[in-house]
Amino acid sequence: MDNMKLPKEKVGDFLAKLGKEKFRVPQQMEGSSKFAPLNGESNADFTLSNTTVPPKSIFYPQTETLYRYNVGETAMEAPGEVDEMIIMGIRPCDARALSTVDKLFTWDPVDPYYKSRRDKATMVGLACQEPRTNCFCTSVGGGPASTEGLDILMTDLGDSYLFQVLTEKGEKICQEAGDILVKSDDSDVQAAEKLHNDAAQKIVRGIDSQDIPEKLPQLWESEIWKKVSDPCLGCGACTFLCPTCHCFDIQDEVEGLEGRRCRVWDSCMFKEYTLHTSGHNPRPSRRERTRNRINHKYSYFVDKFGVIACVGCGRCINLCPVNIDILNILSQVKEAL
């Protein structure tokens, strides 16, 4: 399908035509930003760079009911069907994160909750033009205009958005939008490509991640883990706000005679994450927990699924209260061997 253009003044029409209730868009809330449904007035903010809370929360929410039950009975009630969604304005790194996590959730067994949401969602990405200081997507296989995991890639051309259609799902959206979208020509694509290249040039941080997955296992007992984890507070900011972190805990919550089994985000940086009933903890201190976090992203996940489970969005660096910097850790890893 040809590339299309969405004039900026038509964004409202576009949202309305496709059905506002379907959209999940980046929004600035009280003190943070996240993806949320549109409510009433168009409150989408496509100028935000990465949202504070990554869009993973749409696909595996922080709290998800697996089923409901009544105490003393055997019947279970599964949650209802999911509606179609259009995730508009997702940044390429976050979209890559989801296609990374897909590998895990559709592995063995397939996670029906996650899968059904993914199937129902169309991803309309927005190419990055102003990467932040701690963005390093180009070091881990991505880029400010990466198309992985996207159905449409939008590029801000100033007075309009260029829609580069990548999949059938994306085509469907464009057809539905009808004449709200206008045809684009080659000069638009060239302009967009220039913007993409410029953006890639603006990324200041990075690391050569090629040999890291290989090296990490040899550093198991290295003293760097103690050093980098000394200031760690053991909070969940880095993992909860990481677009690829996907660990969860299953809890039964009972109120009176009604109960539900739900899963909630969990973090490998918490002490209770690996705590055994016996009181033994195989990861007794923050040294082991930090080591696990880095190893999981740059070694275990690579072994199993062939990709690094880090997309270089920079959230963990931006939000760490004590300046634990994953790029700094990785460069120490490279030095240590």
Tokens of 281: 């903890």
Report, in Å, the least distance between residue 75 CB and other proteins. 16
Q: Pick from 19, 253, 257, 336: which binds other proteins (CB under 8 A)?
A: 253
Residues 25-54 that bind other proteins (CB under 8 A): 29-32, 34, 52-53
Q: Pick from 74, 187, 278, 323: which binds other proteins (CB under 8 A)?
A: 323
Q: Pick from 233, 257, 336, 337: which binds other proteins (CB under 8 A)?
A: 233
Nearest to 150 by CA among 170, 134, 132: 170
Told to check if 319 binds other proteins by CB under 8 A, we report: yes
Q: Pick from 16, 321, 336, 337: which binds other proteins (CB under 8 A)?
A: 321
Nearer to other proteins, 183 or 280 (CB): 280
Report, in Å, the least distance between residue 50 CB and other proteins. 12
Buried (b) or exposed (e) across 156-183, using 16+ Cβ within 10 A? Answer: bbeebbbbbbbeebbbebbeebeebbee
Report, in Å, the least distance between residue 167 CB and other proteins. 31
Q: Give the largest CA-CA distance in the chain.
A: 67
- Number of neighbouring beta carbons within 10 Å of residue 218: 11
Report, in Å, the least distance between residue 319 CB and other proteins. 4
What is the rounded distance in angstroms from the CA atom of residue 161 to the CA atom of residue 8? 7
Tokens of 23: 């959209």
What is the rounded distance in angstroms from the CA atom of residue 107 to the CA atom of residue 293? 21
* Cα 226 off chain centre by: 29
Nearer to other proteins, 140 or 166 (CB): 140
Task: Give the per-residue contact string, 283-302, with other proteins (x = CB under 8 A; - = no).
Answer: -xxx----------------
Non-local (6+) Cβ contacts of 294 within 8 A are: 216, 326, 329, 330, 333
Nearer to other proteins, 115 or 132 (CB): 132
What is the rounded distance in angstroms from the CA atom of residue 172 to the CA atom of residue 312? 31
Tokens of 60: 């595996």
Nearest to 38 by CA among 48, 54, 24, 57: 24
What is the rounded distance in angstroms from the CA atom of residue 174 to the CA atom of residue 229? 49
Nearer to other proteins, 22 or 205 (CB): 205
Tokens of 131: 């990467």
Q: Pick from 71, 204, 257, 336: which binds other proteins (CB under 8 A)?
A: 204
Stretch that binds other proteins, among 96-104, 150-158, 159-167, 223-231 (CB under 8 A): 223-231
DSSP 246: -
CB 5 within 8 A of CB 154: no
Told to check if 258 binds other proteins by CB under 8 A, we report: yes
Residues 261-280 that bind other proteins (CB under 8 A): 262, 264-265, 267, 270-272
Q: Pick from 241, 268, 307, 308: which binds other proteins (CB under 8 A)?
A: 241
Residues 73-132 that bind other proteins (CB under 8 A): none
Give the interface with other proteins as residue ranges (CB under 8 A).
Answer: 29-32, 34, 52-53, 62-63, 65, 68, 133-134, 204-205, 227, 230-231, 233-237, 239-241, 249, 251, 253, 255-256, 258, 260, 262, 264-265, 267, 270-272, 284-286, 317, 319, 321-325, 327-328
